[in-house]
Chains A and B, each alone.
Chain A
Amino acid sequence: MTAKDKKCVWITGASSGIGKSAAMEFARTGCKVIVSSRRISSLEKINTDLKKEKIKVEIMPCNVASSANVIQTVKKITETNKINCLINNAGVSTFKPAKENSLQEIKDIINTNLLGSIFTIKQVLPHMIKNGEGMIINILSVAANKIFEESSAYSASKMGLLGYTNVLREELREHNIKVVNILPGATETPMWPKEVRESKSKEMMKPEDLAQLLVWIFLQKKNMVTEEITIRPIQGDI
């Protein structure tokens, strides 16, 4: 993979799973990678894991569900960086039927997955428009198109972001900002309960599989935008 002359990629929800794998993969291609999540200790673990390869990522803790926190973080990042790519990856879920979900659980899911991504996009947008280029990659889910029981609020958050970003894409074309939606099926990440991960591991994709795909999308030529990719485990949806 060609090095991108220190292009800057900001990844939210980067402390584990797809976000962490993507951070490591982008760092390997020579990009400057800024990682955010709520827990600073898990972000530091990325650099411990990368130590052997003599590369590192920049740590910037941020809770995307807090608009104040997002505003502050973007301000700090853009003081010294041009954000070439934002990866909206932060996401949470509960695996419960709707009737058992508490209002707080539903709020947490919508606030992080949907509103958190929208806050982040809104804050980065003026910066990207000023730069005259940029890419926004949203990690959605096959649940944005397909029905899975015990995922009602999660599906609503992902379907909501799909709608928001499909409109956004058309509005941003003239600014040379690309909006890409990835709809992965089950991936072996800590979002899944431990017992599911253990029993269904073979049927899930690995976060590294998706990380490779994200790098490919980022390195695409200027004239094209991969708008939407659905990627799922070969053995079936869980």
Chain B
Amino acid sequence: MSERRLAVVTGANRGIGRAIALKLAKENNDVIIFGRDVEALKKVKNEILDLNVNCEYYSGDVNDVEFVNNSINKILADHKKIDILINNAGMGIFKKFVDSNLEDFKKQMDVNIYGVYNFTKAVINQMIERRNGYIINISSLAGKNSFATGTMYAATKHALMGFTRSLMLEVREFDVKVAAVCPGSVDTEFFSGHRNDNPKILQSDDIAEAVSVILKLPKNALISEIDIRPSNP
């Protein structure tokens, strides 16, 4: 690949991840996409290739540490660097606590926390060594607020905020920028399994725009957190 920046986006087969991957490609970054749905990944890959940047996809679970390490090592062997990591893969199961079960909770922790841990762990050393890198975690306003049916999900996103804020404090001195993007409800298939094209609520592109701003700021300015909500829900 060329001297373009190389970005890795997880959960990129649809929704916010796909929108971010396309936005990064439009802004002339090479993009490597992760997800579980191979057919969807192929489609996104073709959309990205149409934008005249390079794209590869890897399919697997973000909480499968062996898969993550092997994939990232392969990427680093091939391209020598990863400049941008977008930890976007996420999962939400919304139930009242009395109806919840440990298995649902663990599933969400696996994706929303351990998945982020695995990817971050795999890419960060080369960012520190090169004194250059971005780790952008797509969190949620549920990482700051609480709500009924959110015991499991809000707990995972609060954990993600603690992770992100602490990591930022540890690696900023190496010029590695760590940020949390906290959207309110976005029009994706995340909640209902289908989109309803409601223009009033946030669109995936809006979140991609916020990510792009974080990446565009001059070197000495670091957006560490950004909260985005629909203006009139």
Chain A positions within 8 Å of B, measured between CB atoms, are 173-174, 176, 178, 202, 204-206, 209-210, 212-213, 216, 220-236
Contact = CB atoms under 8 A, between A and B. Distances in A.
Interface in B205-225: 206, 209-210, 213, 217-225
B193 interface: no
Interface in B160-205: 172-173, 175, 177, 199-203
B224 A223 contact: no
A223 B217 contact: no
A234 B203 contact: no
B213 A236 contact: no
B220 A223 contact: no
Interface of B: 172-173, 175, 177, 199-203, 206, 209-210, 213, 217-233
A224 B232 CA distance: 8
A-B pairs with the 3 shortest C-beta distances? A209-B221, A225-B231, A228-B227
Contact of B177 (A209, A213, A224, A234): A234
Contact of B224 (A212, A227, A232): A232
Contacts of A233: 220-222
B231 A213 contact: no
A81 B209 CA distance: 30
Contact of B201 (A216, A223, A227, A235): A223
A209 B227 contact: no
Which of A210, A223, A226, A228 neighbours the largest number of chain B CB atoms within 10 Å of its CB? Answer: A223
B231 A178 contact: yes
Given A209-B217, A216-B213, A222 B231 contact: yes
A216 B229 CA distance: 16
The majority secondary structure among interface residues of chain A is mixed
B63 to A, nearest CB: 29
A216 B232 CA distance: 19
Given A174-B232, A231-B222, A235-B220, 19 more contacts: A173-B232, A173-B233, A176-B231, A205-B221, A206-B221, A212-B217, A223-B200, A224-B202, A224-B228, A224-B230, A225-B229, A225-B230, A226-B226, A228-B225, A230-B223, A231-B217, A231-B224, A234-B175, A234-B219
Contacts of B217: 209, 212-213, 231
Contacts of A204: 220
Given A173-B231, A230-B223, A231-B223, A223 B199 contact: yes
Nearest to B175: A234
28 contacts: A173-B233, A174-B232, A202-B220, A204-B220, A206-B220, A206-B221, A209-B218, A210-B221, A213-B213, A216-B213, A220-B209, A223-B201, A224-B202, A224-B230, A225-B230, A226-B227, A226-B228, A227-B228, A229-B223, A229-B225, A230-B223, A230-B226, A231-B223, A233-B220, A233-B222, A234-B172, A235-B173, A235-B220
